[in-house]
Amino acid sequence: MPLISSYKEEKMDVFECIRNRYSYRGRYKNTPVPRQDLEKILKAGLAAPSACNKQTTSLIGLDDPALLASFTDLVKKNGFEGEKPPAGVCVLTRGILSYRDKPFYVQDYSAAIENMLLAITGLGYASCWIEGQVTENTETQEKFSRLLRLADDYIVVAFLPIGIPEIEAKHPTYKLFSERAWFN
C-alpha cells in the first residue's frame, strides 16, 4: 500500500511528536540511520529561531562509528548512563553577543536541539539531550573539539544520540498542568 506508507512518512503530527518525545538512555538497534534522515534532522535544527537572527548554532551530523564510540565513552565517563548509537549530532555554538551586548546563544541552541528532538521522534528514532556530561569540564569539551577538528571559535555544548531504541522506555512523571500553568 504505497499511498498509506508515503502518507505516514510525510505527515507526522506536531502535537503527537511533542507528546511522544522522551529521553532515551537504553541500547540502540544496529539499524543504520540514513544520511537523508540525518540531514532532515540537521535542517530541523537550523530552522530554529535565534536572537536577532544571528544563527549562532552549528551542527555536526555523525555516522562514523569510531567518532560515535569516542563521544559515547566521553559522556559515559562523566556519568551519562546510555549506549553507543548508530548516529548522532554534536551541537556547537559561538559564544557571541546577539542583542544589546547580551548573549542569547544558550536560547538559540536549545531551540535548535528541541527542533531536532522532535524531528528525531517524528522519524521514529529516539534520543536524549546530553549537555551536562559534555560541558562538565573543559577537558571533555576539548577532547570533543579535537576529535571534530573544530576551529577555536566553536564550542561543543551538547551531544544527541540517534537510533532506533532496543527497549521500550517510559516517560518520566510530570507535574499536573494546574501546578505549572495558569490563565491571566
The footprint of a second copy (CB under 8 A) covers 10-15, 17-19, 21, 23, 35, 38, 40, 42-49, 51, 53, 55, 57-64, 67, 99-100, 102, 104, 106-107, 110-111, 113-115, 117-119, 121-122, 129, 131-132, 136, 172-175, 177, 180-184
The CA dihedral of 123, 71, 22, 95, to the nearest 10 degrees, is: -100
How far, in whole angstroms, is CA 163 from its chain's centroid?
Answer: 12
Smaller CB separation from a second copy, 65 or 167? 65
Burial of 23 from C-beta contacts in 10 A (0-12 / 13-18 / 19+): middle
Smaller CB separation from a second copy, 27 or 107? 107
Instruction: Report, in Å, the least distance between residue 58 CB and a second copy.
Output: 5
Instruction: Report, in Å, the least distance between residue 41 CB and a second copy.
Output: 10
Could you give the C-alpha distances from 156 to 18, 51, 70, 124, 178, in angstroms and in order?
26, 19, 14, 26, 37
Smaller CB separation from a second copy, 28 or 37? 37
